[in-house]
């Protein structure tokens, strides 16, 4: 079947089997391998992308369901070479270790902050429940999103814990 959509601002079309998942279209056909697959039951969130602005698990969507949709993947998040504040936050606050869950986590985090610019720690934690990380214990992911939220509000991010410790 023919399917057309916008991915990271570019119009793309492809011929796919109905059973092709959106994540497979992105990874296998469009070579956007930053979106990962970590499970088959829609639990891990490594495949999270934005579909029409909403965080979506691209492993639980057929490619044909995305006909006409606006899809943004991790590769399309930085604009004009500028990291998105959430990407910056993950780098500044050690929000990643092995990096495998990271693209999905960043996409979920970016969608969360787009909806809620000043989330509490609890809102952040429940807002990324659909994304599993096995490395960080989430501690620094939360710090990364707090950093990004402050940046997006135009505020100075809270100091890193290691900066506080040395102060």
Interface with other proteins in residues 114-153 (CB under 8 A): 121, 124-142
Q: Report how far apart the first and last C-alpha atoms of the chain are (Å, whole number).
A: 60
Residue from 2, 11, 31, 80 binding other proteins (CB under 8 A): 31
Residue from 4, 9, 13, 33 binding other proteins (CB under 8 A): 33
Based on the shown chain and the rule CB under 8 A, indicate whether residue 35 belongs to the binding site for other proteins. Answer: yes
Based on the shown chain and the rule CB under 8 A, indicate whether residue 10 belongs to the binding site for other proteins. Answer: no
Site for other proteins (CB under 8 A): how many residues? 83
- As separate numbers, helices (DSSP H) first and strands (DSSP E) second, the chain gives 6, 5
Shortest distance, position 58 Cβ to other proteins, whole Å: 10
SS (H, E, C) 102-158: HHHHHHHHHHHHHHCCCCCHHHHHHHCCCCCCCCCCCHHHHHHHHHHHHHHCCCCCC
Using CB under 8 A as the binding rule, the residues of this chain from 96 to 115 that contact other proteins are: 96-103, 106, 108, 111-112
Using CB under 8 A as the binding rule, the residues of this chain from 72 to 91 that contact other proteins are: 73-75, 77-78, 83, 87, 90-91
Nearer to other proteins, 17 or 155 (CB): 17
Q: Which of 112, 92, 94, 126 is nearest to 48 (CA)?
A: 112
Question: How many CB atoms lie under 10 A from the CB of residue 17?
Answer: 10
Nearer to other proteins, 78 or 155 (CB): 78
The number of CA neighbours under 13 Å toward the Cβ of 54 is 6
Based on the shown chain and the rule CB under 8 A, indicate whether residue 155 belongs to the binding site for other proteins. Answer: no
Shortest distance, position 45 Cβ to other proteins, whole Å: 6
Using CB under 8 A as the binding rule, the residues of this chain from 37 to 66 that contact other proteins are: 37-46, 48, 54-57, 59-62, 64-65
Is 161 in a helix, a strand, or coil?
helix
């Amino acid at each position: 079947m023919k399917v057309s959509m916008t991915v990271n601002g570019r119009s793309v079309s492809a011929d796919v089997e109905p059973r092709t998942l959106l994540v497979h279209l992105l990874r296998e056909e469009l070579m956007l391998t930053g979106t990962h697959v970590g499970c088959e039951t829609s639990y891990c969130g490594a495949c999270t992308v934005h579909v029409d602005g909403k965080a979506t698990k691209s492993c639980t969507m057929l490619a044909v369901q995305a006909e006409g949709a606006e899809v943004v993947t991790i590769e399309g998040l930085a604009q004009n070479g500028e990291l998105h504040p959430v990407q910056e936050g993950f780098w500044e606050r050690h929000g990643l270790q092995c990096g495998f869950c990271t693209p999905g986590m960043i996409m979920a985090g970016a969608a969360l902050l787009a909806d809620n610019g000043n989330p509490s720690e609890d809102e952040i934690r429940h807002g990324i429940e659909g994304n599993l990380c096995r490395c960080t214990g989430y501690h620094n992911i939360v710090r990364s999103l707090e950093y990004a939220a402050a940046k997006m509000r135009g505020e100075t991010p809270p100091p890193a814990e290691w900066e506080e410790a040395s102060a």
